[in-house]
């Protein structure tokens, strides 16, 4: 009893310490706007009277006292751009991308841990609860090794900035001085919390202590998310500066500098993106372990792990295009030029590649689910209809990836009789593309619904009506999405943009209503047989690896697009990039660079996985053999 | 069910005969016309009809005891898709797009034939048979593939690497991002906020809804709305300005952009690329009116860096037209094509 009470006290103290760590940076930062930024200027204002120089915020249009130096006007030379005999931008690109990959991974995985640990705590099935707990522990173990690498890569990134772009970094750190200090302290808080969370796992595995442990994961994720928000403020400032005047002089309001036009859309997009990416990486890890497994038991475990990670990743992938849409909308609202450069001009072809990658993500997900139906008895009834889903997906995908301005030889251009193809050119505009992606997502929802009811037969009295209702609902959804896509050609552009709302609403209705209805229908359903975990084709696991690779590639691509939309500016319209590399790379070079980054990341993360496997914790036998036959059966855990 | 499948099979046979005729140039591609205004959805519906047809055919053949092996179904569908894109759709689709569709076609055929173990086994059976080579014939086939596949790959590689005499492919940015503002005849116009001074209602106020109600109808025919004929001398205000814009257009622009504004004017085919087709939903329909104003005023020579390779010979019309004339001609282009200029509100 005394030991338990001691543990409780220890746990509560640990939790308090985490809260303290979370609050520490805020407490430290509180005086900074008062005395670090505004106050000297204010004092100076009192002393010098009229000599105070005021500036106008380029974004908020408010007046403020100038407290910073103007953005440096750099020149191409060793002073502003010291270099090796190599393109500095490429070095920075590499360092940045690798740091971002690992950063995303270590921010996403604790969120998964939190969700999975919570599922374990609330699950009544003890064997299943242990499996969830073990899974969460496995995740955080992988994350811990990756965490060190993230910090190392962050250091490399800062050194790269300092040594290759000193003028720019000096300007940025001058403006974000307090934010950077808070960031560093938050990093300390994140590390402390993570270690307590990880090393306290075994000590706090039951009862009240488990809830304390779960609360720690919440704090860990709050700190992680705040860290990301702060880092986002720097790139938000580079794209859409605020809080400075036209010369780039800081006007003393740190909130304006952080809260730029694109900060919030970037925050949301990155949270969802990190989660989808994290899910993909863990699913790929599980797939790799599945393929390398020697026993049925291991195959069952990693099949289940892959499924959970995929489901979590896809759950965040589905809203991701809508968050991206919001981001683009805000980009257009901020600067029309920037929006056109992105989606209609110089970078438009990269968006076609992005569309291709998004399509691959959804195709892989659907394929995995169809394969997964193979491990359920009773799912055969849906198999024969899969070919129609393939057809619908293919049509949506082809429309989605059709470029408006096609790549063609001059001879083809003449034969076509114009820059736009009269038939396919129509697929190249947003109206058709919105239709295409919504058809793809709705079909993915349909695949999920089929998967969820694969081995079950509804026993509710209104099952027939429910099935007909669901069929009609999906048919109407497809009709509505396609009708709106066609109708979009006949109305003004501003109304057309608004049409995406009912299209998205239709897709989300399918997602929420159909999932809810299906769950109600399948409550107490007759099971045709258990889910035979581990009895899934190897192709499904390659689909998971494909999913993860596509996530990684797309993340690299979108990061490149977001960064290169500034064209020849370090800070958009404030600080010009005068290095010899202030031009936009060719599509081919960018694609090769992204591929190299993806390849490096996967090789290095394989190393991380290997390191993780060296300290593999033996899984308690009872948690892996809940059901006779040694293959675990969490059949109800769709 | 059988009747439905028979009907499907009939559609399938008719479709295949038509496509075969187009491939061998017996039947022109235009036999079943792609109707302007409905082309994109028509194409998708046609492919859907083919899929229904193939389902019917497969069912009937199976019922007759002559089921088509899954392997050949997969290969056959992909070949059909490629032939359809090459010979049915006109004008010809550039190779790059056909290659994209072909790749998607391959992936989807793979997804279809491997969606479950039974189908996958059926599909790969002929391949496994050849690889196992249990019979003399299969052994012969295996050796034939052993020789043919490297030769084919080598041939494709040789063709891909061989220097070609044709002009290289260009990734042209047709609509480069405009500047924030542009100066025409000494006055600066902010592109995001400027408005066409002639898009006005009878009270003389800027009113896009009013002008939208008086443009020609889109789709087949492009008919004028009743009582909205700019060439009626009695019409004043917006419609009068459209008429004046039309006069300027036919005096200056239609030689290249065509009297239907579809980029097929008298001189159009002397240029490469040919002039912009305003009736395409991807040109002026996607852009703000001020974008068109800027492009007309500054011409090809005023394209920004992003407009590489600056493949436009349009003159900078500010040297020939007044600001008012440029706004009026832009007004006319939107009226004639039946499109609404993009707005951001």
Average pLDDT over residues B146-151: 96
Considering only A189-198, A208-217, A612-621, B289-298, which range has the smallest mean pLDDT? A612-621
- Please tell me the distance in Å from B343's CA to the nearest CA on chain A: 6
Which residue's structure tokens are 């809810």? Answer: A516
Looking at residue A4, its pLDDT comes to 58
Q: β-strand A456-457 against A526-527: which pairing, if any?
A: antiparallel
> Is a pLDDT exceeding 60 seen at residue A633?
no
The DSSP output letter for A244 is B
Looking at residue A5, its pLDDT comes to 66
Considering only A47-51, A213-217, A494-498, which range has the smallest mean pLDDT? A47-51
Average pLDDT over residues A476-494: 87
Which residue's structure tokens are 């195959």? Answer: A299
> Is a pLDDT exceeding 60 seen at residue A46?
no
Residues 73-132 of B with CB under 8 A from A: 89, 91-97, 100-101, 104-105, 107-108, 111-112, 114-120
How far is it, in rounded angstroms, from Cα B108 to Cα B85? 16
* Contact status of B8 with chain A (Cβ, < 8 Å): no
Cα A21 to Cα A14, A185, A190: the distances in Å are 10, 8, 8
Average pLDDT over residues B14-42: 88
Chain-chain contact of B282 with A429 (C-beta, under 8 angstroms): yes
- Please tell me the distance in Å from A245's CA to the nearest CA on chain B: 18
User: Which of A29-38, A403-412, A443-452 has maximum average pLDDT?
Assistant: A443-452
> Is a pLDDT exceeding 60 seen at residue A3?
no
How far is it, in rounded angstroms, from Cα A356 to Cα A400? 8
Average pLDDT over residues B20-30: 90
Looking at residue A635, its pLDDT comes to 38
Considering only A485-499, A538-552, B191-205, which range has the smallest mean pLDDT? A485-499
Average pLDDT over residues B116-145: 93
Task: Provide long-range contacts, Cβ within 8 A and 24+ apart, for A29-37.
Answer: A29/A178, A29/A181, A29/A182, A32/A178, A32/A181, A32/A254, A33/A178, A33/A252, A33/A253, A33/A254, A33/A255, A36/A177, A36/A178, A37/A67, A37/A178, A37/A250, A37/A252, A37/A254
Percentage above 70 pLDDT, chain B: 98
Mean residue pLDDT across chain A: 87
> Is a pLDDT exceeding 90 seen at residue A359?
yes
The pLDDT tens digits of the residues spanning A92-140 come to: 999 999 999 999 999 999 998 999 999 999 988 888 899 899 889 988 8
Structure tokens at B147: 């020789």
Looking at residue A28, its pLDDT comes to 58
Average pLDDT over residues B175-202: 91
Average pLDDT over residues B85-96: 92
Chain-chain contact of A492 with B343 (C-beta, under 8 angstroms): yes
* Chain A interface, best mutation among B93, B260, B339, by max A CB count within 10 A: B93
* Minimum-distance CB partner of B115 among A333, A335, A370: A370
> Of A367, A173, A205, A350, whose CA–CA distance to A287 is shortest?
A367
- Classify burial at A618, counting beta carbons within 10 Å of its beta carbon; exposed 0-12, middle 13-18, buried 19 or more: exposed
Give percent helix, percent strand, percent coil of chain B, each to the nearest 5: 55, 5, 40
* Chain B interface, best mutation among A261, A339, A353, A398, by max B CB count within 10 A: A398
**pLDDT band (50, 70, 90) for residue B344:** low
CA closest to B164 among chain A residues: A409
Percentage above 90 pLDDT, chain B: 63
- Please tell me the distance in Å from A58's CA to the nearest CA on chain B: 15
| Dihedral Cα A474, A476, A480, A483, nearest 10 deg | 120
Name which residue leads in pLDDT, A144 or B56: B56
Average pLDDT over residues A39-65: 72
Chain A CB contacts of B219 below 8 Å: 490
Average pLDDT over residues A272-299: 92
> Is a pLDDT exceeding 80 seen at residue B311?
yes
Looking at residue A631, its pLDDT comes to 39
Looking at residue A26, its pLDDT comes to 62
> Is a pLDDT exceeding 90 seen at residue B288?
no
The pLDDT tens digits of the residues spanning A386-423 come to: 999 999 999 999 999 998 878 888 788 878 877 778 88
ipTM: 0.83
Looking at residue B79, its pLDDT comes to 97
Domains in chain B (CATH in brackets) are 2-161 (no CATH), 181-337 (1.10.760.10)
How far is it, in rounded angstroms, from Cα A327 to Cα A76? 33
Q: State the sign of the Cα–Cα–Cα–Cα dihedral A451, A457, A460, A461.
A: positive
> Is a pLDDT exceeding 80 seen at residue A600?
yes
> Is a pLDDT exceeding 80 seen at residue B345?
no
Chain B CB contacts of A349 below 8 Å: 171
Name which residue leads in pLDDT, A436 or A430: A436
The pLDDT tens digits of the residues spanning B39-69 come to: 888 999 999 999 999 999 999 999 999 999 9
List, in order, residues 6 or more apart from A64 with CB less than 8 Å away: A54, A55, A56, A57, A243, A245, A251, A252, A253
Chain B CB contacts of A356 below 8 Å: 100
Given a contact cutoff of 8 angstroms between Cβ atoms, the answer to whether A64 and A252 are in contact is yes
Average pLDDT over residues B88-98: 91
Cα B8 to Cα A183, B4, B33, B55, B264: the distances in Å are 65, 6, 22, 7, 41
For B191-244, what is the HEC assignment?
A: CCCCCCCCCECCCCCECHHHHHCCCCCCCCCCCCCCCCCCCCCCCCCHHHHHHH
* Contact status of B36 with chain A (Cβ, < 8 Å): yes
> Is a pLDDT exceeding 80 seen at residue A40?
no
Chain A CB contacts of B207 below 8 Å: none
List, in order, residues 6 or more apart from B89 with CB less than 8 Å away: A423, A424, B29, B34, B43
Residues 244-283 of B with CB under 8 A from A: 263-264, 269, 272-274, 276-277, 280-283
* Minimum-distance CB partner of A416 among B94, B114, B218: B94
Chain-chain contact of B34 with A423 (C-beta, under 8 angstroms): yes
CA closest to A395 among chain B residues: B44
- Please tell me the distance in Å from A232's CA to the nearest CA on chain B: 25
| Dihedral Cα A272, A276, A279, A280, nearest 10 deg | -160
């Amino acid at each position: 009893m005394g030991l338990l009470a001691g543990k409780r006290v220890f746990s509560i103290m640990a939790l308090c310490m985490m809260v303290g760590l979370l609050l520490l940076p805020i407490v430290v930062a509180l005086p900074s706007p008062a005395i670090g930024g505004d106050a000297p200027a204010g004092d100076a204002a009192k002393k010098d009277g009229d000599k105070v120089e005021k500036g106008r915020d380029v974004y908020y249009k408010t007046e403020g006292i100038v407290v910073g130096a103007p953005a440096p006007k750099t020149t191409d030379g060793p002073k502003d751009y010291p270099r090796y005999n190599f393109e500095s931008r490429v070095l920075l690109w590499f360092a940045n991308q690798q740091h971002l990959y690992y950063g995303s991974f270590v921010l996403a995985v604790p969120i998964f841990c939190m969700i999975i640990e919570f599922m374990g705590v609330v699950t009544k099935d003890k064997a299943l609860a242990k499996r969830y707990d073990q899974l969460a522990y496995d995740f955080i173990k992988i994350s811990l090794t990756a965490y060190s690498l993230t910090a190392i890569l962050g250091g490399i990134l800062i050194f790269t900035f300092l040594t290759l772009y000193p003028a720019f970094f000096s300007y940025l750190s001058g403006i974000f001085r307090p934010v950077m200090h808070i960031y560093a302290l938050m990093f300390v808080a994140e590390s402390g919390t993570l270690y307590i969370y990880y090393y306290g796992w075994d000590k706090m595995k039951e009862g009240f202590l488990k809830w304390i442990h779960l609360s720690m994961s919440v704090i860990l994720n709050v700190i992680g998310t705040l860290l990301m928000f702060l880092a986002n403020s720097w790139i938000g400032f580079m794209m859409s500066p605020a809080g400075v005047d036209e010369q780039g002089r800081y006007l003393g309001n740190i909130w304006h500098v952080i809260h730029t036009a694109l900060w919030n859309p970037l925050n949301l997009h990155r949270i969802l993106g990190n989660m989808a990416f994290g899910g993909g990486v863990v699913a790929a890890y599980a797939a790799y372990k599945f393929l390398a497994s020697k026993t049925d038991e291991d195959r069952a475990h990693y099949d289940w792990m892959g499924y959970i990670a995929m489901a979590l990743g896809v759950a965040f992938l589905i809203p991701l295009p809508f968050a991206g849409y919001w981001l683009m909308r805000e980009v257009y609202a901020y600067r029309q030029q920037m929006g056109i450069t992105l989606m209609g001009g110089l970078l438009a072809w990269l968006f076609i590649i992005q569309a291709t990658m998004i399509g691959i993500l959804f195709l892989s997900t659907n394929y995995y689910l169809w394969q997964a139906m193979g491990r359920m008895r009773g799912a055969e009834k849906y198999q024969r209809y899969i070919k129609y889903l393939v057809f619908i997906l293919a049509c949506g995908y082809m429309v989605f990836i059709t470029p408006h301005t096609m790549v063609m030889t001059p001879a083809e251009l003449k034969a076509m009789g114009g820059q736009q193809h009269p038939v396919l050119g129509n697929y190249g505009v947003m109206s058709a593309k919105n239709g295409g992606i919504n058809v793809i997502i709705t079909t993915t929802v349909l695949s999920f619904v089929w998967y969820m009811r694969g081995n079950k037969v509804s026993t509710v009295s209104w099952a027939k009506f429910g099935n007909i209702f669901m069929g009609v609902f999906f048919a109407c959804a497809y009709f509505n999405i396609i009708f709106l896509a066609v109708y979009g050609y006949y109305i003004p552009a501003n109304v057309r943009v608004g049409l995406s709302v009912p299209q998205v609403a239709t897709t989300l209705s399918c997602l929420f209503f159909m999932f809810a209805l299906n769950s109600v229908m399948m409550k107490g359903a007759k099971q045709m047989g258990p889910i035979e975990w581990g009895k899934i084709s190897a192709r499904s696991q390659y689909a998971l690896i494909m999913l993860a690779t596509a996530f990684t590639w797309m993340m690299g691509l979108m990061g490149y697009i977001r960064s290169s939309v500034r064209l020849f500016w370090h800070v958009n319209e404030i600080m010009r990039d005068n290095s010899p590399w202030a031009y936009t790379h060719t599509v081919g070079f960018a694609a090769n660079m992204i591929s190299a980054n993806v390849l490096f990341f996967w090789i290095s993360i394989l190393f991380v996985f290997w390191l993780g496997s060296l300290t593999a914790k033996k899984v308690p036998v009872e948690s892996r053999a809940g059901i006779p036959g040694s293959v675990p059966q969490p059949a109800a855990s769709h | 069910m059988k009747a439905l499948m028979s009907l499907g099979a009939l559609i399938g046979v008719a479709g295949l005969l038509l496509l075969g005729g187009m491939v061998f140039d017996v039947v022109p591609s235009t036999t079943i016309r792609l109707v302007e205004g409905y082309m994109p959805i028509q194409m998708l519906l046609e492919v859907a009809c083919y899929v229904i047809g193939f389902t019917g055919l497969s069912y009937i053949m199976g019922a007759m005891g002559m089921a088509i092996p899954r392997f050949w179904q997969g290969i056959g569908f992909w070949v059909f898709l490629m032939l359809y894109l090459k010979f049915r759709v006109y004008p010809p689709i550039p190779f790059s797009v056909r290659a994209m569709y072909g790749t998607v076609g391959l992936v989807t055929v793979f997804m279809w034939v491997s969606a479950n173990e039974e189908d996958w086994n059926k599909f790969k059976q002929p391949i496994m048979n050849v690889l196992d080579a249990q019979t003399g014939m299969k052994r012969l086939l295996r050796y034939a593939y052993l020789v043919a596949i490297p030769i084919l790959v080598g041939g494709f590689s040789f063709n891909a690497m061989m220097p070609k005499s044709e002009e290289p492919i260009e990734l042209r940015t047709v609509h480069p991002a405009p500047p924030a503002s542009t100066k025409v005849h000494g006055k600066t116009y902010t592109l995001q906020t400027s408005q066409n001074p002639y898009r006005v209602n009878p009270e003389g106020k800027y009113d896009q809804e009013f002008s939208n109600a008086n443009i020609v109808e889109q789709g087949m025919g492009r008919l004028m709305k009743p009582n909205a004929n700019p060439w009626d001398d009695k019409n004043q205000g917006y419609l009068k300005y459209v008429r004046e814009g039309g006069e300027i257009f036919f005096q200056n622009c239609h030689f290249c952009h065509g009297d239907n504004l579809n980029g097929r004017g008298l001189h159009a085919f002397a240029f490469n690329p040919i002039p912009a087709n305003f009736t395409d939903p991807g040109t002026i329909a996607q852009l703000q009116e001020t974008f068109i104003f800027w492009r007309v005023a500054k011409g090809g020579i005023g394209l920004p860096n992003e407009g590489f390779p600056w493949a436009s010979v349009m003159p900078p019309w500010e040297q020939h037209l007044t600001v008012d004339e440029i706004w009026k001609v832009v007004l006319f282009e939107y009226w004639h094509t039946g499109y609404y200029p993009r707005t951001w509100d």
